[in-house]
Amino acid sequence: MKRWLNLAKLPFMKPTVGATPADVVHRENKWQLLHYRPRPQGVAFKTPLLLVPSLINRHYVLDLMPGKSFTEYLVAQGHDVFTIDWGTPGPEDRFLTFDEITDGYLGRAIRIAGRAAPQKKPHVLGYCLGGTLAAIHAAAHPDSMASLTALAAPVRFGDEGLLAAWTRTKTFDVEMLVSAMGNVPWQLMQSAFHLLRPTLNLSKAVHLLDRAWDDNFLDGFLALETWGNDNVSFPGAAYQRYVEELYRGDAFARGTFTLSGSLARPQAITCPTLAVTFEHDNIVPAASAKALLELAGAEDKQNIHLPGGHVGAVVSKAAAKGLWPQLSAYWGARDGAVQKSGARQARPAEAAKVRRKSG
């Protein structure tokens, strides 16, 4: 009975997403830098952490909902967390270049986030395309980050996946697409993602029907669906370079990519580097993400390889128990805690209490 009641209520339910309290500390064009309010007992680590989401998805995938939020967990652990909200590009952003985003905007976010750190460098975690941007920035500015974490971020684009095959199709004229549309519409990109697993929506419907009695599952499902359908378009000029040079030319992996006129070779990355890869990631194949470790010049390189898919493995219950503590420990080990006694292993439910108090 509850299953059917929940299903009937579903269209009227609105999940609370991106709820961890934060202040806007910088605004420029459409993007803004959010600084999450520290836990009541203060931060436990010297080095702040900057989260860089993908350009085409909303930042709140890493702050999905109270009790199921990676950001909330990090704040509860005592990390000083910043995140970039890329915003929604306007028609004029068709001229926004890859350099302006990766060198200009990301560079400024790194400098602002790093201000409070003793060495003026934050740890940087980039998710998906955000990880690619962060890796390219680290290659062009090797001294800008305390560490680089690339979470399911494509680095080598020569894979045999559907997205790579599509972008390499000779009849697909990316210049014409950008010339006609300006920014590349999110609907076009979302339909490409749907094609990666055309039966996914049907499968989701069956699993929803199966577990509709479970309020906890339903909340998470709704939050994730809200995020999955809340996408943004890709700035045209940046998209053209992304496809032509990174996807088609594999320029970053080959060491020929330039950022604002300077060569950005992955071998120049010298900060501690962590690549997180997922076994069943059909958007960014594990080999494409793991290539960062083969190419980076850092001495301190690590790989965390986990089961799961591109999104589920980052936001699921299993991630809260496995991936999140591993990441927190990784940054903690490369930091030196100033308040070790204050740091505690908060579970997501505890983190939710902290959020409400600080909010």
Binding positions for other proteins, rule: CB under 8 A: 28-29, 90-96, 100, 104-105, 108, 111, 160, 162, 165-166, 169-173, 176-177, 179-182, 195-200, 202-203, 206, 210, 282
Nearer to other proteins, 282 or 326 (CB): 282
**Closest approach of Cβ 241 to other proteins, in Å?**
16
Number of other CB atoms surrounding residue 67 within 10 Å: 20
The CA-atom distances, in angstroms, between 256 and each of 70, 142, 250, 251, 263 are 35, 16, 9, 5, 7
127: left (phi over 0), alpha (psi -120 to 50) or beta: beta
Nearer to other proteins, 5 or 205 (CB): 205
User: Which residues are CB-neighbours of 267 under 8 A, at least 6 positions away?
Assistant: 139, 255, 295, 296, 297
**Closest approach of Cβ 148 to other proteins, in Å?**
22
* Separation CA 206–CA 276 (nearest Å): 30
**Closest approach of Cβ 328 to other proteins, in Å?**
30
**Closest approach of Cβ 114 to other proteins, in Å?**
12
**Closest approach of Cβ 216 to other proteins, in Å?**
20
Q: What single-letter amino acid sits at 165? A: A
Nearer to other proteins, 286 or 327 (CB): 286
Nearer to other proteins, 265 or 310 (CB): 310
* Separation CA 251–CA 245 (nearest Å): 6
The residue to which tokens 């080095």 are assigned: 47
**Closest approach of Cβ 215 to other proteins, in Å?**
20
**Closest approach of Cβ 190 to other proteins, in Å?**
15
**Closest approach of Cβ 320 to other proteins, in Å?**
25
Burial of 183 (0-12, 13-18, 19+ CB in 10 A): buried
**Closest approach of Cβ 130 to other proteins, in Å?**
19
Nearer to other proteins, 1 or 180 (CB): 180
Cα torsion at 107, 111, 117, 118 (round to 10°)?
100
